[in-house]
Structure 1
Amino acid sequence: MFRMLGEVDALVDGRRVDIGHIRQRSVLVCLLVDVNRPVSADALIHRVWADAPPGKARNALAAYVSRLRRALAAEAGEARITRGPGGYLLQADERSVDLHRFRHQVRDARKTQNPVDAVTLFNDALDMWAGEPLSAIDTPWANQLRSSLAAERFSVLLERNDAALRAGRHAELLGELVETAQTYPLDERVAGQLMVAQYRSGRQDHALKTYRFVRERLANELGVDPSPALEAVYVQILHRDGGSPVTASPQRPVRQIPRRPTRLIGRAGDVRSTLTALDESPLVSLTGVGGVGKTRLALAVAHEAADRFADGVAIVELAPLPDGTAVSRAMCAALRFQPGADRSPDEALVEFLQRLRMLLVVDNCEHVLPHVARLVDRITTHCPDVKVLATSRESLGVEGEWVIPVKPLNEEAATALFVERARASRPDFDPGRERAGAVADICRRLDGLPLAIELAAARMRAMSSADVLRRLDRLRLLSGRVNGAHPRHQSLTATIDWSYQLLSDQEQTLFATLSVFAGGFDLDAVHAVCADPQMSEDDSVELLMGLVDKSMVEVETGPGATRYRLLETLRAYGRERLADAGRLAETTTRHAHYFTDLIAAAAAGVRGAQEAEWIARFVTEPAKYTTPDYDNLRSAFEAMVAGRDVDRAMRLVISLPEVMFMRVGVHSGEWAETVVEIADDDHPLYSAVVGTAARAAWFAGRYHRARHLVALVPRGSASEEISYCADPADILADIALYEGNPAAALEHYQRELTAARAATDPHRLVWVLYNITVCHAALHDPGAGLAAGNEAMQIADGVANPTIRAMAQCALGRALTHTQPERAMALFERARELAAGVVNNWLIGIACAEDAAIRAVHGDPVTAAGIFTDLIDHWEFGSAGIGSYQWDTLADVTRLLACLGADAEAAALHRALVEAGREPPLAGPAPTELDVTTALSGHDAVELAKTALRRYV
């Protein structure tokens, strides 16, 4: 048996166990408080030595634990001390520790319906106290625990008094209540109990005098009136109604939650999840960036939860506090409680709250976080019926805390908020009469932040939504004046500045530097672009995690590596700080160099066995046909062009074909055209840049532009660093192929074959062999490409690169289309699988197109129709227009529709292809004989094909 409620002691069969000197006793107490729960070594050292541990505290701790373990084992008791991953653990029956036995007894008493039995149980529990708890142990932790236990005992004493009054034992309780009231003259619950006991003992005048005395003290010392509960006891006694004893809670229900004049939009789900969290945890923290609406959400939750708490809700606003020393005073003021001069505010506050069932909403904790965390930890630990709902830029870090990140509004809710607030400023505001999409663009640019949206909407008094949108880059636009609001809510800049000023110097520097990223970024980029040269990667990670914790950086999780981003409003603010520090140009250059080097490394890496790893770095969401670093690459390119760093801009551009064009489309092809205009044509990379620009134009079906670009290459010019798919001469051959001259294209690739065999690049060789099979198929003799297909397979088998292997599978499959269709389809399926593994959307499309074409002519037109339907959507990844491969697919669809009897649609598509300069897909009568008088545009042809195909899917 262990005793803490008095002198610290351990007994086995009534014999006292030697538990050593005071430090060793302190270790035992630490373990007893958390009996059957592990306590870390760090926590034990802090509890025993506070902030002044000895040099070898861990060794001393281990020695104390070892002696305690031997002492307990020598007595053959059931208690034993073990050590595991979580720390040291004292295993024992909870009821063998008087503190925990006391608490079990109190819980039993609270469950007991009969007040007489309840009094007995309460008294038995109180009798376990043999004196001052933790006698003779004097450490900060022990002193705090002692005060907490004293408050806990007092709370139980008052519960016992209530039970005794219900049991009719007012006479025997009266003397004790008089003494208690003298000790706690401002405690209204004690006063109410004393008044009831006095009245029931026939001393009505004494009861009324007690009331007047307490009322006067409350007015003089706290400046408040008696609570409704104590007032009710007084009225009952005044009218000589001595029925059921009335016991008063000292807390007036604080239900004056600030009413907001506007409704809460888009937060219904957040309110529900927060209410659920309050059911599960004593502390719930709403975290998020400034202006996201944490306070509004907390107040909405408080309104919903108010009826759950008998003693109401108290709102504690910490924003006005200059530092953390006044946190407990602010809480006391919110509760209308005066702690008195003889005790610390923290101790008095915890004691006061122990008797209450209420919700504390503690708003804006971030600038006084350590002080709030310590106080809230004590409240949640020692006040079982008090719940705390905190709002802060970062979590409190208290044990048992349930953190709910508050995210910006989605587009629908953000738009609704803007419209409602705009109408409040200008009643005739009609979003339907504004420029199409302007309101949605404003909300998107403002990251869905409610404060920013409300400030922007207020500008509708004097300008249109289009005017607001044009001026959003100026943060000072988002300012306003809300009478009574804290200064940091008067403008978006002030809100962000509030958070920025709470950062350490190193965090401020990193935050400002992160603003150079466009879109998201990963840890490698942070360290390479933003870190001080003397800083380790671990240091970078630590600082970044601090910004994440403080809601200054968003985390983006997904199938790839974790990425991070700044909200655009924070990014604009950070760039201002970076410019103010004179570091914008230097950081922009580092950013540009990093991403140029990264994509150059990727362009080399995708040609090897690590293609999948490199592509996973660049394309984390294949279905979206985009790369998470597209904006960073664009920003890097623009910075190099603006700085006339043409050489590095060229190196970025020539890395695009294999990393970007084949995976996410040719939208970045315009960068190559920009470089063509400013580069010297005698630069060693010039022809590679021109080939990149021309290949992008060819992919998009802009053959005239592609031909014009190729003509810019000086005769005889070549580049050793050119992509295997961006040779200018290849592009002229491909134009000839798609304009109806496959023989010329074949002649070109057969000439290239000799040079490709002599070179050491297997990609170039397989590319040439693949295109030879394309030319033979276009000449309606795919079997003639069999040798090229077999050679491509032989080369690919010796290279562990998915793209080469998929390309070779397509080459051989195309050559076998007529002679071995089943084997060909198997090859195309394998090619599709290989290409999908490295997000090569070009080859995925090729494999699906060839597979569908075979099925269309070999008795499976319905499956072919389904594949073509998906394929038409798939080819949209390549460009904003109707690209080369989309026209090929439309030709195949035309032939399929003709076979299915959809003559009108087939004729219309036939005419569209002919008018676009493509080879006629249908043999036989001319289009006019098929009653087609007007050619469709490319986009109309695509829509017609999709509509027609859906009838057969």
Structure 2
Amino acid sequence: MGVEFRVLGDVELLVGGRRVDVGHARQRNVLLALLIDINRVVPADQIVERVWAGRPPQRARGALYNYVSRLRRIVAEGQDASIVRATGGYVLSVDPLAVDLYLFDDLIGRARATQDVDAAAGLFAQALELWRGDAFAAVDLPWLNSVRDAAAARRVAAELDRDDLELRRGRHHDLLPRLSAHATLRPLDERLAGQLMLALYRCGRQADALEHYQRTRSHLIGELGIDPGPSLRELHQQILAASPVLDVVPHDGRRHAPAVPQQLPAPSPSLTGRGEQLARLDAILVPEGTGPEADVVVISGTAGVGKTALAVQWARRVSAAFPDGQLYVNLRGFAPGGDAMDPAAAVRGFLRALGVPEDGVPVSLDAMVGLYRGLLAGKRVLVLLDNARDSEQVRSLLPGMTGCVTVITSRTQLAGLAVTHQARSLPLGLLSPGDARELLIGRLAGERPAPDPEVVTRIVDRCAGLPLALVIVAARAAYQPHLPLALLADELHEAQPLDALQTGDPVTDARAVFSWSYRALSPDSARLFRLLALHPGPDIGEGAAASLAGISPAAVRPLLASLSRANLLTVTAPGRYGLHDLLRAYGLELVAAFDADRHRAERRLMEHYAGTATAAVRLLDPGRPSPPADPPSAGVTVLPPADQPAALAWFAAEDANLQAAIAATHPGTDRQASQLASAMTTYLDWIGHWHDLVNTQLAILPALDRLADRPATANAHRDIGRTYAQLGRYAEAATHLGRALESYRDLADPVGQGRCHHSLGWMHQAQGDYRTALGHSELALELFRTAGNRLWQARELDAIGWLSLQLGEPDAALDGCGQALPLLRELGDRHGEAGTLDTLGLAHHRRGEHEEAIGHLDRALQIYHELGDRYSQAQVGLNLGDCHAACGRAELASRCWHAALESLRTLDQAGTENLRGRLAERCRDVALTNPHRHAGR
């Protein structure tokens, strides 16, 4: 039995002409996710992304497996279709012509290709009859919008081509009602307007034709600010003059078209993924409201990312949409020799391809461009301009009329064309890990046995998603079949990975390919590119880049923009930039050769991070002692955040960079790294990344030893000990806290000693030993009073109040916290204030004063939320839920407990098990008591 898939209307599956139920909407969406890429592996992650629109449930993979299993049985009824599992995903195997969307494209392509007018008309009619409504009707999936729009655009293009054909056949009377209806819906479509004007004129309605021209002109001027294009203006003049060229010319059933250029190069076998980009290219075929300029698309991306492969693949796929031919030229904008093609030479080549004899080619560039554009007028030609250097090189090669499409590939963004020609930008990024694996495995297929997945992962990681690098590795594996693939992976992980990507061919050697882009930079941009390779983190902000280069943020912005336009940097977020690993390796080679001051640059970078982090933590936690910041060196930019939310946002954006900077510290940056590590502890604690906190402090200990900085070393051991206690590793916590306490005594530092006792108290209360904990807190309070530190006195009063609660003394808790709260507010310690409000709320709750408790807890929760302390949010949420439950408000209590569980979702699992467990039990309506207290640092 034959199988048919219908999507040009309601989604339907037919087997033997009988409609088959494909299941509920989610299962149907899985089928669509496979159907759009028939006969190709669709990664499971991509299917999940498509089906659940970026919000997959926890067990999405399991649900997907069930859906696919059911669909496999349904589809298999047709015998000539199947769904099979492949590496990393699934494949729907079926004849493309069994899908009405692809059958439509095939029929339209055949209609445009045939020289038989009557046969073409029949093919157009057959294709357009497939449409039963809007494509994918009643399906609401965001990823499908581009596919739907592209299909609708191809439908409109087919209708216009059919109506052109019908006008040539003299069917203007039959066409008139349909053209009038369509023109009402698309008043800016000049091609449609021309068809209606011609039909009206041939039906003896010259005045109506002229009136429709004026109406179209008014729409274009009013909505787009432009006059009609040359073709429509010429038709208007011909109708005014009643020109005989508008009369129907009898035909013999054949279309006598001249030979058309077919210059597209062979497609690359390396194109993998890029489904989204191909769909966006499909959508340009018939844009809505086309103006007088030809459609122009710029595919930009870094060297080796596959721009040409994408452009050629798409051009060949849609070549039937351009019956008047396809023109191609490699402009050599970044060629090995550095000699970009002169625009005059490129236009001359196009003229010859369009049939102009050598002696008919004009001498001047302007005359050549005029002839070239005149030859393309009224035609549908695809122009592919490959490897353009800049906007100026391509302007002369752009057709001047609608109906043609120009696709340009370049390593730069050619932003000027967006201004002068409304060019659309299609940036091409690196491959996803899944697509990179598919590309590598596909190129290795047949060359050697199935590769070890772990080795493939190592190669994919080191090639950074760059298709050129993956293809080079596959080529080396092919011409060195006895070389184990693991050895190639080892080479890539060595200090100079670009050595493993040498081919001896300047066109394909990765280092050489990168060099062409680098040589095109200005000296200042080139220097910044080299220095950016020194940055150890995944991305960089403007302040860090300015410090690295030793210039101001205002001076660095245009340089970053130029590197971004050259696709040597990727914009990861507004004001933030990324450099992929292979370009970083190339930049490091250049730094070693050209930049003797690299260590000064690294020190400036670390000063920027340390200075800004110190300013940020002083806003977040004013009670945390921090060493006085050194005045910034010349060329260093320090950007103190404006307030606490800005400080949190800065730490969140820079977290990975700060940890990488500390891991990369060396004797020249020890002092700045120690300041940075100290400043990071509050943020990492509040967001519950306790393993990162411990690792950061352990990593800085060798630097502190080199500096012989005893106070900072004591602080680090205290932070490590406090965090080990949070993680439940009490023996290690006691060791580090003991070392810190001994150092503080030697240093005669009462505040440091007090904070150690504070942390020891927290450790003992976490183990349920409240009496010992209270002893440490009382000793800490005396030390803080001796030192005259009012802030930590207030914080310790809160801690003593909390422990009093655990010992069944709520009145003592209210007394201590009542003394602490006004002092904390006076000193601006919002974190301490929130903790004290939490204690007060719980004390009132224990006394049965639930409404008073709720008021304190609501305020504590609000402050913790503003500060971004997720663990403390969860603790207060538990207490608040208990209060609502005590008041009989079960729904409110459940809401509080569920929100508290959500606050813990991104925190380290270790250190939150106790609280997670209690909250989970509360959510199951089991009331427990004695909540665990999270004290401040």
TM bucket (normalised to shorter chain) is 0.5 to 0.7
Tell me which residue corresponds to 1:648: 672
1:542 aligns with 2:558: yes
How far is 1:541 from its partner? 0.9
What is the identity, as a one-letter code, of the residue corresponding to 1:572?
A
The CA deviation string for residues 576-632 of structure 1, in whole angstroms up to 9 with x for no partner, is: 2112213432322222222122212222232469998556556549xxxx8332332
* Equivalent residues in 2 for 1:669-748, closer than 5 Å: 669-676=694-701, 679=704, 683-713=710-740, 714=742, 716-717=744-745, 727-748=755-776
TM-aligned CA distance change 1:682 to 1:619, over 3 Å: closer
Is the contact made by 1:793 and 1:812 (CA closer than 8 Å) also made in structure 2?
A: no
- The alpha carbon displacement at 1:739 in A equals 2.7
Q: Is 2:551 aligned against 1:529?
A: no
Q: Is the 8 A contact 2:817 2:840 kept in 1?
A: yes
Matched residue, 1:357: 380
The 1-side partners of 2:622 and 2:743 are apart by 32
Matches within 5 A, 1:264-303: 264-280=271-287, 282-303=295-316
Distance (whole Å) between structure 2 residues aligned to residue 657 and residue 725 of structure 1: 18
Is 1:447–2:468 an aligned residue pair? no
* Deviation digits for residues 770-812 of structure 1 (CA, Å, limit 9, x no counterpart): 3223312332434431122223332243355542332232122
Counterpart contact for 1:650–1:685, Cα < 8 Å: yes
Residue 578, structure 1, aligned to residue 586, structure 2: no
Bigger CA radius of gyration: 1
Q: State the secondary structure of the residue aligned to 2:361.
A: coil
Q: Note the aligned Cα RMSD (angstroms).
A: 4.5
Q: Residues 169-318 of structure 1 correspond to what in structure 2 (within 5 A)? A: 252-255=259-262, 257-260=264-267, 262=269, 264-280=271-287, 282-318=295-331
Q: Distance in 1 between matches of 2:755 and 2:515?
A: 52
Q: 1:350 to 1:160 in 2, by over 3 A?
A: farther
SS at match of 1:277: coil
Counterpart for residue 682 of structure 2: 658
Q: Give yes or no for contact 1:287–1:404 (8 Å, CA) kept in 2.
A: yes
Over 3 Å counting, the alpha-carbon distance change for 1:812 and 1:120 in structure 2 is closer
Specify the code of the residue in structure 2 equivalent to 1:419: I
Secondary structure at 1:803 match in 2: helix
Give distance in 1, aligned partners of 2:247 and 2:557: 63
The answer to whether the Cα contact below 8 Å between 2:369 and 2:396 also exists between their aligned partners in 1 is yes
Identify the residue that residue 779 of structure 1 maps to in structure 2: 807
| Structure 2 CA distance for partners of 1:573 and 1:347, relative to 1, 3 Å | same
2:374 match: secondary structure: helix
Give 1:891 shift: 5.7
- Show CA shifts across 1:742-771 (max 9, x none): 112222223333554676766534432332
2:663 to 627, 638, 649: 638
Q: Does 1:838 align with 2:867?
A: yes
Match of 1:112 in 2: 198
Report what 1:429 is aligned to: 450
User: 1:434-583 maps to which residues of 2 (within 5 A)?
Assistant: 434-435=453-454, 439-440=456-457, 442-458=459-475, 461=481, 462-464=483-485, 468=489, 471-472=492-493, 474-479=496-501, 487=505, 489-517=507-535, 518-532=537-551, 536-557=552-573, 562-581=575-594, 582-583=596-597
Partner deviation per Cα, 1:538-564 (whole Å, 9 max, x = no partner): 22111111111221211123xxx6322
> CA 1:778–1:425 in structure 2 vs 1: closer, same or farther (change >3 Å)?
farther
Note closer, same or farther for the CA distance 1:105–1:839 as it changes in structure 2 (3 Å cut). Answer: closer
Matches within 5 A, 1:59-208: 111-113=197-199, 164=244, 167=247
Partner of 1:599: 613
> Cα 1:748–1:576, aligned 2, differ >3 Å: closer, same or farther?
same
What SS is found at the alignment partner of 1:712?
A: helix
Give yes or no for contact 1:695–1:731 (8 Å, CA) kept in 2.
yes
Query: Which residue matches 2:21?
Result: none
The verdict on how the C-alpha distance between 1:799 and 1:500 changes in structure 2, with shifts beyond 3 A counting, is same
Following superposition, the deviation at residue 403 of structure 1 comes to: 0.9
Alignment match of 1:340 (pick from 361, 377, 381): 361
Structure 2 CA distance for partners of 1:341 and 1:710, relative to 1, 3 Å: same
Bigger mean CA deviation after superposition, 795-804 or 702-711: 795-804
1:687·1:728 contact (CA, 8 Å) conserved in 2? no
Q: Is the 8 A contact 1:447 1:567 kept in 2?
A: yes
What's the secondary structure of 2:297's corresponding residue?
A: strand
Cα deviation, 1:864-922, whole Å, max 9, x if unaligned, reads 6776666567547554x622x5335546767987948xxxxx9xxx9xxxxxxxx999x
- Measured against aligned partners, the alpha-carbon deviations of 1:494-520 in whole angstroms (never above 9, x if no partner) come to 332222122111111111111222111
Cα distance in 2 between the residues matched to 1:738 and 1:390:
64
Per the alignment, residue 435 of structure 2 pairs with 413
Query: For 1:166-219, what per-residue CA distance to the aligned partner results, in whole angstroms no more than 9, with x for missing partners?
Result: 7499xxxxxxxxxxxxxxxxxxxxxxxxxxxxxxxxxxxxxxxxxxxxxxxxxx
Q: Residues 531 and 587 of structure 2 are in contact (CA less than 8 Å); yes or no, is this contact kept in structure 1?
A: yes
Instruction: Supply the distance in 2 between the matched residues of 1:408 and 1:161 (Cα, whole angstroms).
Output: 57
- What is the one-letter code of the residue matched to 1:843? S
CA contact (8 A) 1:769 1:811 kept: no
TM-score, normalised to structure 2, is 0.63
| d(CA) in 2 for partners of 1:797, 1:327 | 71
- What is the rounded CA distance, in whole Å, between the counterparts of 1:347 and 1:689 in structure 2? 74
Hey, what's the Cα distance between the residues in 1 that align with 2:542 and 2:252? 67
Deviation of 1:358 (Å) = 0.8
Identity across aligned pairs (percent)?
Answer: 19
Instruction: Supply the distance in 1 between the matched residues of 2:722 and 2:712 (Cα, whole angstroms).
Output: 15
Shift of 1:162: 14
Identify the range of structure 1 (726-735 vs 889-898) with the bigger mean alpha-carbon deviation.
Answer: 889-898
Q: Is the 8 A contact 2:297 2:424 kept in 1?
A: yes
Q: Distance in 1 between matches of 2:719 and 2:733?
A: 10
Deviation at 1:694, TM superposition (A): 1.7
2:303–2:513 Cα contact (<8 Å) kept: yes
Please, which moves more after superposition, 153-162 or 690-699?
Answer: 153-162
- For residues 271-306 of structure 1, give each alpha carbon's deviation from its aligned partner in whole angstroms, at most 9, with x where no partner exists: 111221343361111111122222122122212332
Q: Structure 1: which 5+ residue stretches go unaligned?
A: 1-102, 125-148, 170-241, 901-905, 911-918, 922-953
Describe the SS at the equivalent of 1:668: helix
**What residue is the counterpart of 1:328 in the other structure?**
344
Which is further off, 594-603 or 765-774?
Answer: 765-774
- Residue aligned with 2:284, SS: helix
Structure 1 position 522, deviation (Å):
1.4
What code does the residue aligned with 2:198 have?
Answer: T
Does structure 2 retain, via aligned residues, the 8 Å contact 1:527–1:540? yes
TM-score (norm 1): 0.62
Per the alignment, do residues 853 and 166 of structure 1 end up closer, same or farther by CA in structure 2, a change over 3 Å counting? Answer: closer
Query: Whole-Å Cα distance in 2 between the matches of residues 480 and 254 of structure 1?
Result: 37
- Give SS of 2:396's match: helix
